Each structure stands twice: as structure tokens, then as C-alpha cells.
Amino acid sequence: MSVKLRRILDNNRVADMVTELAKSLGTDIQVLDHKGRVLLGGNGAAPKGGAEFEISAGGKAAGKVIGAPSAKNVADILSHLAELEGEKRSLGKETLDKYAEITMVHDLSKLLSKATSASQTAEITLSNAMKHFGADFGVVALMGGESGPSFLALEGEQELVRKGFHAGVALWEQVLASGDAQVVDDCSKDARLKKNGASLSLLCAPLKAMNTTLGVAVLWSQEAGHFSAKDITLLQTLCLQTGLAMGWSLLYDKLLGVVEVVTDASSLLVQMTTPGGGDS
């Protein structure tokens, strides 16, 4: 099973531990994934004259550490953590995933119950989904309006997100029509997506309230094959929760608008029917 080193270092406690270990060993380090992307120690250039030490798990290279000879200790520890991560994912992945999913759905329900607007609902869901799925970019957008999509929440570099969204309109429309979430392992090979250079894989699900489809939630990763088929089910569940909460918020906003119109009309009627009330 392939272990993603980035997911291990996304744990702040692990990242802090590795940084402190390097300091105690008296060496500057850089940690890179198997594609050469810097995961830790990216504030400067790689240590001058630094040696490279492989990080491996299950007999496969997961990345490397660059630094003084003592940096091999860091690579060994990260290899051990990667092995443990691989074992955990192999032996208890399904159980752990189900527990994490149930917990996330439960926690999200509590957070959404406190949201007071559609945009706040979208921001809560997107923020939690980005963290859970390890996405690089994300958006929640309403669709179907005459003026085009309405972005309720964006995560990541906004220009890239907007560019990526407009490049995938054909796919979003298909998701809206079918009502089913979809995953794309390699965006560059999907004819429904215009080339935008912003991502290599994506996960998309519709936002539905009752029998109405409101829009879509899209997560992108700069890593091909980042999302799995199981992620589809979870994101669809999260979007169902979000769509229902958002539907009530949008309905409430409409009702407030109606109340304001009726109130204004009533006030005007009172003025017109009150003796002297219509005089200017």
C-alpha cells in the first residue's frame, strides 16, 4: 500500500517532533516526498552539501531527507512512522475510516445547526472537507442563476480556484443532472475539463435540498489519484447535510424578503388611509 508522506507530516505534532529532532542533531533538513516536493524545511534552499537519505515504507520510496549525516536518524524515524501508517491503513483502514466518517458527520451536523446563512454553511462544510480529504483547493458554489455561478466559499488561491471551476463547467453540469458525486484521478486526461494547470485530481458532489439541486462542492488536489472511490460516498453525505441546511437558510432569506415587502406595503397603506397621512 502506498503511503503518502504528506499526510504524516500534516500532523502538526509529527512535524514539530521532526523539526526539534533535527535541531537536537545540529542539522538543517529538508523533507521531500517521492516526487521531490518539499514538505518540511521549505523556507530556504536545501542544506548545502547535504546528503540524501531515503524514506521508505513497504519496500517503496515515500520520500527523502536532505541534510548532514546525522539527518539519517530523521529519515529512519520517518520511515518507521510511514511503516506504521501503512500497517494501520492495511489492518484497520476500513474500521478507522468508518469511525472518522461517523465522527465527522456528527460534528458537522452540530456546526451546521449553528450556521445562520448559506455562505456560513458553505464555509463550515468546505473547511472541514478540505482538512479531512487533504485537498489543496476547494469551492462551494450555487449554480443555475442567470448571472452564472455564485461562489459561497473558496479555499486556496482564489484565482486558481475560479479558473479551475470555470474549466469544469461541463462536469459540474453532469453532476447536477445525475445527482451523483464523481472523482477524476487525472484532470489532464478528462475531456470534460479544460486544461487549467491548477490540479491533477478532483472530487465533486452535488448540493441538494429536498428535490432541488442547488449547486456543487468541488475539491482539487495537485496530486493525481489523490481521492478514492470511498471518498465519493462521504463527500456526498456531507453535501446532503449541507444542502439541507443551506436550503433552509435560503428559504429563510426569501421569507425575510417577503416579510420586508409586506411590512413596507402595510406601512404605506396605513399612511394612505390615515387622514392627512398621505400629505407631503
All three cell numbers of 21, joined, read 529532532
| pLDDT tens digits along 85-114 | 887 777 666 776 777 888 888 888 889 888
| 3-class DSSP assignment, residue 233 | helix
Per-residue pLDDT at 271 = 65
d(CA 62, CA 68): 20
**Which residue in the block uniquely carries the three cell numbers 513497504?**
58
Evaluate if pTM is beyond 0.75. no
Per-residue pLDDT at 1 = 46
In the chain the domains, ranked by start, together with CATH numbers, are: 5-86 (no CATH), 115-262 (3.30.450.40)
Q: Which one has a higher pLDDT value, 268 or 149?
A: 149
| pLDDT tens digits along 109-130 | 889 888 888 889 999 999 999 9
Q: Determine contact, residues 2/60, Cβ cutoff 8 Å.
A: yes
| pLDDT tens digits along 197-253 | 557 899 999 998 777 788 999 999 999 999 998 899 999 999 888 888 887 655 545
Per-residue pLDDT at 225 = 92
| 3-class DSSP assignment, residue 25 | coil
Per-residue pLDDT at 182 = 94
| pLDDT tens digits along 3-56 | 688 888 888 888 899 989 888 888 889 999 888 888 998 666 667 778 899 998
Residue type, 109: S
